[in-house]
């Protein structure tokens, strides 16, 4: 119990530090922007509304407190087909260790693909690449029947051509079963850490999330999140997941960031501002295997696809 008490105190101090960061932060550019990329096909398919719904291996990246709700060993992999030639991959695993809590690890790799270099007078030079590698170590535990807390330590390295930089950050999360039946409250703060950069350092993309999930209808999960990045306006995300006979799953979600931009510069694209927040996904279970897919529309930036495989060892 003493260990859990210390964990609560550390969590509280970190939350207070977060509010101080928001008060002192200038609005503008942040560093290590790959930390903003969403990981895990299931939560992405729900529109990123996953703070209070976290209950599987993806909790490593979304809300580490959700690891306390994972009943078995799980492994997940995701491949993302991003814009242009950019791609990124995600691998995570978790291990429930009884009353001690649940441990998790996640790996994220982002690659820009070939980038053409140019000299000062416009002559084309050799190609180079930029990449990001992140290692995430997570832990979640139940404080009591209603409350779970968790933390993720992030270690990451960014490389551009022959230059590299190393940084670290921490995520903190909590889940609380509300007195209202079938409702859960979730909170998560991400990317708390020192400034990062090549030469000149900038603040990390700190983000705070608050969400509520509802599981009162059989096989249906609903979640509503408010997401506040440190340098931009807040995001309202809503998502759902429905399982048919625990075999086939449908997911859908939407993110709204304060306004719908008609974007008159792109008259040949139908309502890019409206479609840019839409996400849809599906999943199929085959014994211990779950195959997932998510599609997200980015308006004038076109669409992206994510494919994932999850193993749940019973």
Residue 185: its pLDDT value, please? 96
Residue 311: how many other CB atoms lie within 10 Å: 16
Residue 270: its pLDDT value, please? 40
Residue 272 clears pLDDT 90, i.e. is over it: no
pLDDT-derived band at 143 (thresholds 50, 70, 90) equals very high
Least confident stretch, 143-157, 162-176, 269-283: 269-283
3-state DSSP assignment of residue 66: helix
Residues across the chain:
314
Residue 219: its pLDDT value, please? 94
CA distance linking residue 141 with residue 10, whole number of Å: 14
The pTM of this model reads 0.83
Could you report how far apart the first and last alpha carbons of the chain are, in Å?
A: 29
Residue 162: its pLDDT value, please? 76
Residue 309 clears pLDDT 90, i.e. is over it: yes
Torsion sign over Cα 5, 11, 15, 20? positive
Instruction: Give the mean pLDDT of 155-168.
Output: 87
Residue in 313, 314, 248, 260 with CA at minimum distance from that of residue 76: 313
Per-residue pLDDT tens digits for 69-105: 999 999 999 998 777 677 889 999 999 999 899 999 9
For residues 23-42, one letter each, b for 16 or more C-beta atoms within 10 angstroms of the residue's C-beta and e for the rest, the string is eeeeeeebbbebbebbbbbb
Per-residue pLDDT tens digits for 207-248: 999 999 999 999 999 999 999 888 877 889 999 999 998 899
Domains of the chain: 2-114+126-313 (2.40.160.60)
pLDDT-derived band at 11 (thresholds 50, 70, 90) equals low
pLDDT-derived band at 274 (thresholds 50, 70, 90) equals low
Asked whether the beta carbons of 281 and 293 are under 8 A apart, the reply is yes
Residue 19 clears pLDDT 70, i.e. is over it: no
Q: Give me 219's structure tokens.
A: 């096989």
CA distance linking residue 126 with residue 115, whole number of Å: 9
More confident call, 80 vs 8:
80
Instruction: Give the mean pLDDT of 27-51.
Output: 86
Per-residue pLDDT tens digits for 247-267: 999 999 998 876 544 444 444
Instruction: Give the mean pLDDT of 11-39.
Output: 62
Residue ranges of alpha helices (H) inside the chain are 2-24, 41-45, 59-62, 272-275
3-state DSSP assignment of residue 63: coil
More confident call, 123 vs 65:
65
């Amino acid at each position: 119990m003493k260990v859990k008490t210390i964990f609560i105190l550390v969590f509280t101090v970190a939350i207070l530090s977060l509010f101080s960061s928001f008060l002192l932060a200038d609005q503008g550019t942040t560093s290590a922007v790959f930390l903003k990329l969403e990981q895990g096909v299931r939560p992405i398919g729900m529109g990123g509304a996953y703070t209070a719904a976290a209950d599987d291996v993806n909790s490593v990246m979304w809300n580490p407190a959700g690891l306390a709700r994972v009943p078995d060993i799980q492994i997940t992999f995701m491949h993302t087909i991003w814009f242009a030639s950019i791609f990124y991959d995600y691998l995570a695993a978790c291990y429930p260790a009884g009353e001690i809590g649940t441990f998790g690890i996640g790996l994220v790799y982002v690659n820009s693909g070939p980038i053409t270099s140019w000299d000062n007078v416009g002559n084309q030079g050799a190609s180079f690449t930029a990449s990001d590698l992140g290692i995430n170590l997570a832990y979640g535990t139940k404080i009591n029947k209603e409350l779970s807390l968790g933390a993720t330590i992030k270690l990451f390295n960014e490389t551009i051509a022959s230059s590299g930089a190393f940084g670290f950050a921490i995520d903190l999360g909590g889940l609380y079963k509300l007195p209202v039946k079938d409702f859960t409250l979730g909170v998560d703060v991400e990317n708390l850490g020192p400034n990062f950069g090549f030469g000149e350092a900038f603040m990390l993309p700190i983000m705070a999330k608050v969400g509520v999930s509802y599981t009162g209808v059989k096989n249906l999960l609903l979640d509503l999140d408010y997401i506040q990045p440190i340098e931009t306006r807040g995001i309202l995300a809503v998502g759902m997941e429905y399982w048919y006979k625990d075999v086939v799953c449908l997911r859908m979600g939407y993110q709204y960031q304060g306004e719908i931009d008609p974007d008159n510069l792109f008259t040949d694209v139908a309502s890019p501002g409206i479609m840019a927040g839409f996400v849809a996904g599906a999943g199929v279970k085959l014994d211990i295997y779950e195959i997932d897919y998510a599609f997200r529309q980015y308006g004038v930036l076109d669409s992206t696809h994510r494919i994932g495989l999850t193993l749940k060892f019973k």
